[in-house]
Chains A and B, each alone.
Chain A
Amino acid sequence: MYLVLCSASDFSGLWVCDGLRQLGIAPLELVLAESLACASLWEHRLQGSRTHLKITLPDGRTVCSSRIRGVINRLLAPAPGAAYRAAESDREYAQAELHAFYLSWLKGLPGRVVNPPTAVGLSGSWYHASEWVSRASRAGLTVRPYRQSSHDAPEDSFRPLAPEGAARLSLITFGGQLFGGSVSAAIGCACARLAREAQAELLGVELYREGAGAWIFAGATPQPDLSIGGTPLLQCLARELTQGERP
């Protein structure tokens, strides 16, 4: 069994699921975050060196780790439904417990998992803009200075780094290959290095430029719009999923 884990509003996740089906990846199950939030059964065990997972979804489907061969993981957070069943005073605690639980069962998934969870993200490393700029600079991408002060609201850091009107380029790096656009070999290598050092094997990298200048780093995400990679990315994902199968 192959899984695509995403939310109902993640059109990119739905697109990749549809595309993988057309490429013959089977059996392939789309498991939505909203469905996981209403699962009637969760069974997650750590036994010796083994990890076991069994989920019964509201529509009766069962996901069992013994049958999983590959996963496209695009979960951002547990859907809020479950935590809202807690008393208001316990809601923050319930949400923290659910996040901790999701991190664990995702970590224990067998087979080829694209992208596995890290301590700082359910589907790969989610870093603050300042850290992405620092990492991008170390990886060899051109960066513009990032500045933050105690007089800036924390949410300001979510503003795009690219100035309005600048030309933009969205790339995806996966398995050492670059999808979505044509750039110099040096930029391609730097993107791959950024992904490797961020422990995000599939990483979206945004660049911008003004006029005919150099491409400048504008951001990175482990949750890019996969459709920009088109069929070549789908084929690569399909290959990775099937080659990651256990004997």
Chain B
Amino acid sequence: MILVCGIPSETPLRLVTSRLEEMGAPFVMLNQREFASCEVWFEVSREAIRGELRIGKSTYRLEDFTAVYPRLMDDRALPELADEPPESSPRKYCRSFHDTLTRWMEIAPALVINRCAPMATNASKPYQAQLIREHGFRVPETLISNDPDLVRGFRARHGRVIYKSISAIRSIVQELSDEDEERLERIRWCPTQFQAFVEGENLRVHTIGGEVFATAVRSQATDYRYATRQSGEAAELREVILAADLAERCLTLSHALGLEFAGIDLKITPDDEVYCFEVNPCPAFSYYEANTSQPISAAVARRLASA
């Protein structure tokens, strides 16, 4: 039995459950928005990790779940809690329910795509970059500083420089401009990351269950996820086949980071050097699947069903 958690209408989740249905793989959908009608408990003992999950009127033994696909949004931001004050009972129960469920997933003997601990490397991009570098990928030259003069010197040396957040909180990648330089004094109290711009073609590589799906992205935007906003034109995506050694390195990197499923952001320079920007541990693969028809959701479903 497979447990799928999140909001059923969210596109990646919807694609995976559709594939599971097509395969005839038995699964249980836990809609986190319906937390109020759910309960969960688990027990860790010398013998086993066991417990129960109740969803509405149905109760399941946790030890019967062989695989879990969690795509949980921040439970504090669920629409059901929008009008709830900070310490309200529904808000507290929602937090406790998600905390218990997540704690169980961290130690469950089931296949979990992905657990929180390995996902945590992505909460510090430069920390993760150092791990990526240890696996043979180039990473962009990076400066993190609170000193405007060092940043100006970095830009003078590299010409084109981008800046972006380094935590798991998403930001839009921007190129440092003359106007930005004028407000650099604002980094004094929070060291900020600047990276040399790398010319080349963007590649998103999804790895799942030993399979590799590579998508080339052509865009004039600094951050192709926001291509229309930044450049006025949507990004063009196409399927590509990676050289065997690069595909193997991507699989090795995902495995080393403890990730069953990963979205690896690469850039191939005109000199064929491979830069890796980050490894996304909770990839929203549907954007790539919708634009290329690459069967990523089917691969996720196959991996879940194989456990």
Contact = CB atoms under 8 A, between A and B. Distances in A.
Interface of A: 39, 41-49, 51, 82-83, 85-86, 92-94, 96-101, 103-105, 107-108, 117, 119-120, 128, 130-131, 133-134, 137, 142-154, 157
Contact of A82 (B93, B117, B189, B192): B189
A155 to B, nearest CB: 10
B100 A146 contact: no
A117 B44 CA distance: 27
Given A97-B166, A99-B123, A152-B96, A46 B44 contact: no
A101 B147 CA distance: 15
Contacts of A45: 141-144
B127 A131 contact: no
Given A92-B169, A104-B125, 13 more contacts: A43-B143, A46-B141, A47-B142, A83-B190, A85-B189, A96-B169, A97-B167, A103-B123, A131-B107, A142-B46, A147-B41, A151-B39, A151-B93
A120 B106 CA distance: 12
Interface in B178-192: 189-192
Given A41-B147, A148-B103, A108 B49 contact: no
Contact of B144 (A49, A94, A104, A151): A104
A145 B41 CA distance: 13
Contact of A42 (B104, B123, B144, B167): B144
B167 A100 contact: yes
Given A42-B146, A104-B124, A97 B165 contact: yes
The listed residue with most A CB atoms (<10 A of its CB), out of B40, B150, B189, is B189
B40 A149 contact: yes
A149 B167 CA distance: 30
A148 B96 CA distance: 10
Interface string B120-148: 11011111011001000001111111110
Contacts of A92: 169
Contacts of A97: 165-167, 169, 190, 192
A96 B191 CA distance: 12
A5 to B, nearest CB: 16
A47 B142 CA distance: 7
Nearest to A119: B120
Interface string B159-181: 00000011111000000000000
A46 B154 CA distance: 12
A interface: dominant SS: mixed
B interface: dominant SS: mixed
Contact of B96 (A51, A137, A143, A151): A151
A119 B44 contact: no
B59 to A, nearest CB: 13
B133 A149 contact: no
10 contacts: A41-B145, A83-B190, A86-B189, A93-B169, A97-B167, A97-B192, A101-B124, A105-B144, A147-B44, A148-B103
B108 to A, nearest CB: 10
Contact of B147 (A43, A83, A99, A108): A43
Interface string B88-123: 000011011101110110110000000001101101
B45 interface: yes
Contacts of A82: 189-190
A100 B127 contact: yes
Interface string B250-291: 000000000000000000000000000000000000000000
